[in-house]
Amino acid sequence: MGNIGISIYPEKSTFEHDKEYLDLARKNGFTRIFTSLLEIDGDTEEVINKFKRIIEYGNLIGMETILDINPGLFNQLNISYDNLGFFKDLGAAGIRLDIGFTGFEESLMTKNPLNLKIEVNMSSGTNYIENIVSYHPKKENFCASHNFYPQKYSGISQSHFEETTAQFTKHNIHTAAFVTSQEGKIGPWPVQTGLCTLEQHRNVNVHTQVTHYRLMDTIDDLLIGNAYATEEELKAMSEAFLSAHPNFEIELIDGLSEVEKKIILDEIHLYRGDRSEYMIRSTSTRIKYKDASIPAHHTEPIKKGDILICNDDFGQYKGETQVALKDMENEGNRNVVGHLKEESVFLLDYLKPWSTFTLSNTK
């Protein structure tokens, strides 16, 4: 299991506000901090002290910070890539190279005597990673993360994400990516419409974003790119990431019987392995509830994302739970008891046979 994290931007905030946010995040199981020191405007000492104070507070409560930097900062602060003591003094656990060097420098940096982590950018789609690996970096200090994208429509596509991520996972490199808060207004730049890695995540809730990454199972750590996420979002991210089984948010219809609610909400569902292209079948509920009566109701035509229970008219299948993967006709033997939240229907395409999942009612 990986870690979850948040982002803070000390230059645009106060220590008190950031401290409060870190406390709230820590309470919800967050252990990583991302922050950005791409360039220093104004009094260098003042800026550095501001960063140092909050990073050290994070360390105190068990949250480690990776600092995003670019090569220009090395020049500005007169630091050399073979002496990273400056970042250790700041309290950082590691640095993220927003723009890389040639591969050799990165590899050398992973061998730093301070054991700072060196995190590289996963999103570019070049052979950059092969270059670094050819110089035999120290694996324990080497990790990678995708970019986040403040401009609407500029986030990466699903196919580019899969392609670039595979370049790193084949070398067993620890990976990270960003999700976005729907409320956060602060990022490293003046303009931002959310800060996500995948464009398709820009306007969806954090639970759905995290569940998507969890089902893809290629990214270790997830961080919220913008600040400040709400307490509800922190809680939702924590639950989606740390729960024993992936969870799908659904909207149940009103007036269901207690038995139907139990079948849907109280059970751990198992996606039966002899898969159908029309539906996900969770069959254990028909054994557990075989003696219960489930009268027919809401037997309208079925749409992708509908949650179904086989009713009394379906013989031995009565009580089986199903999730529609395609539109289907309804012969009167399936009750349409709810629907996946519209924005999360796409997640069904990532659920694998023989995996477990739970359903929760958000209505």
Check whether residue 83 and residue 56 sit in a common domain.
yes
pLDDT digits (tens, 9 = 90+) for 155-206: 999 999 999 999 999 999 999 999 999 999 999 998 899 999 999 999 999 9
- 144 and 181 in a common domain: yes
| Closest-CA residue to 91 (of 65, 120, 63, 118) | 65
Final residue of a structural domain among 209, 243, 277:
243
Name every residue whose Cβ is closer than 8 Å to that of residue 335 and which is 6 or more positions away in sequence: 260, 294, 296, 297, 298, 299, 308, 309, 310, 311
Quote the CA–CA distance of 145 and 317 in Å, as a whole number: 46
Is the predicted pLDDT of residue 216 greater than 80, yes or no? yes
User: Which residue, of 211, 243, 275, is where some domain finishes?
Assistant: 243
- Indicate whether 110 and 203 sit together in one domain: yes
Dump pLDDT digits (tens) for 90-117.
999 999 998 888 899 999 999 999 999 9
For 68, the enclosing helix (H) or strand (E) is: strand 64-69
For the entire predicted model, the pTM comes to 0.96
Which two tokens mark 261?
């609610």
pLDDT the model gives residue 322: 98
Q: Do residue 173 and residue 56 come from a single domain?
A: yes
Residue 73 has a pLDDT of 86
Q: What is the pLDDT of residue 76?
A: 86
Q: Please check whether residues 229 and 268 belong to one and the same domain.
A: no
In the structure, what pLDDT confidence band is assigned to residue 276 with cuts at 50, 70 and 90?
Answer: very high
The pLDDT of residue 38 is 80
pLDDT for 39: 77
Strands 117-121 and 174-179: unpaired
Q: Are residues 183 and 265 in the same domain?
A: no
Alpha-carbon span 72 to 37, nearest angstrom? 10
Strands (E), 104-220: 117-121, 142-145, 174-179
Return the structure tokens found at 99.
């723009």
**In this predicted structure, what is the pLDDT of residue 272?**
96
> Do 236 and 273 lie in a common domain?
no
H or E element, residue 24: helix 15-27
The per-residue pLDDT for range 336-363, each reduced to its tens digit, is 999 999 999 999 999 999 999 999 999 8
Provide the residue range defining the domain that includes 108.
Answer: 4-243
Other CB atoms within a 10 A radius of the CB of residue 170 amount to 10
Does 86 share its domain with 212? yes
* Type and span of the H or E element at 216: helix 206-216
**Residue that is last in its domain, among 191, 217, 243:** 243
Do 227 and 115 lie in one domain? The reply is yes
**Same domain for 239 and 253?**
no
The region of weakest confidence among 42-51, 69-78, 90-99 is: 69-78
pLDDT at position 330 is: 98
- Count structural domains, the chain: 2
65 and 38 fall within a common domain: yes
CATH value at residue 284: 2.40.100.10
Are 183 and 294 within one domain? no
CATH of the domain at 154: 3.20.20.70
Q: Residue 279 above 80 pLDDT?
A: yes
Helix (H, G, I), strand (E, B) or coil at 340: strand
Q: Average pLDDT, whole number, for the chain? A: 96
pLDDT attached to residue 70:
83
Split at pLDDT 50, 70, 90, the class of 136 is very high
Residue of higher predicted confidence among 39 and 301: 301
